[in-house]
Copies of this chain bind each other. A is one copy, B any other.
Amino acid sequence: MGEFDVITRYFSSLGSGEYVDLSVGDDGAALTVPPNSELIVSTDSSVLDTHFTDDLFPEDLGYKAVASAASDLAAMGAEPLGMTLALTVPSVDDLWLHGLSQGLTRACHEYRLPLVGGDTTRGPLSLTLTVMGFCPRNQKLLRSGAQVGDRVCVSGYLGDAAFGLAVMQGKYRGLEIDFEDQEYLVSRFTHPTARVDLGCRMRKLATSCIDLSDGLLQDAGHVTHASGVRFSIQSGAVPLSSALISAVGEAQALEFALNGGEDYELLFTLPPETDVPDELTVIGTVEAGEGVHCDVMSRGQGYDHFH
């Protein structure tokens, strides 16, 4: 079976979209970037045994790879245009590829990210997604714009995905967890929600933004570093789901929220005069200084591939 056939059979139905002029099948794809906007682009790899293990279903792998890539567009306030996939697989396993394509399909549609190009190669399992989006000129959200006096806000609940992963890994086998809570918590890891629409709506309101992929404290640290400010975070304000609190109690839940990763929620800084949208929770303030300070503990460490 040729590489072209693999791409065509499983992925060619995913290639059409509002901004797609030409999809998979030529030397390159062609997209229309709306006038007076900037192209936003981001690349992410998921490598077996580094980012995921063999026991992750291919459906979940496909969905999660797209959602986490879309989350980078969300953090820039960018509207999705399309994406390319470089897929490296040890062999052509039809059942596995079918599962992967199902997860990709679901996420492609959910995040309006048609698959416009790709490369399929034999080798150790990995996926590299390059997502493209656009922003009206000079409206993109950056990490570097936080101002002293701003409030620090986050979307959703934090820590659920990190705990969901721990459950999948069998680390909490002794714990009695409500079945529906467990399903919800695991699904926050396998099917995170990229906040693409929220990112776009916050373009002219927020002074800075980042997506939370490596844990609140570590990612917040990227914003304070880029902006030259200090964050003071009130641990009591960090949004925790009732499912997570029920499962592990508030102290442990907070630990997952601060130092876990994979939430793919957004962190914004908002000027004092801006109304806080309903889906955001204020968790702290921007001050002069540097670093991220939290009232219960010193700065922890998130997940870093080379640590």
Contacts and interface: CB of A to CB of B under 8 A. Distances in A.
Interface of A: 1-3, 6, 21-22, 25-33, 35, 38-45, 47-51, 72-73, 75-76, 78, 81-82, 84-86, 88, 92, 116-124, 126, 128, 130-133, 135, 140, 142-144, 209-211, 226, 304-307
Contact of A117 (B35, B42, B49): B42
Given A49-B123, A51-B121, A305-B120, A226 B25 contact: yes
- Of A3, A35, A209, A305, chain B has the most CB atoms within 10 Å of the CB of A305
Given A22-B140, A25-B226, A45-B128, 10 more contacts: A26-B142, A26-B143, A28-B131, A30-B40, A43-B84, A44-B119, A45-B88, A51-B121, A86-B86, A124-B126
B43 A119 contact: yes
A123 B124 contact: yes
16 contacts: A2-B306, A27-B42, A28-B78, A29-B41, A30-B76, A31-B39, A31-B41, A39-B132, A42-B117, A43-B117, A43-B130, A45-B119, A45-B121, A50-B88, A84-B130, A122-B305
This chain: how many copies in the complex? 2
A50 B118 contact: no
Contacts of A21: 38
B73 A28 contact: yes
Contacts of A82: 41
A33 B81 CA distance: 13
Given A124-B123, A226-B25, A3 B304 contact: yes
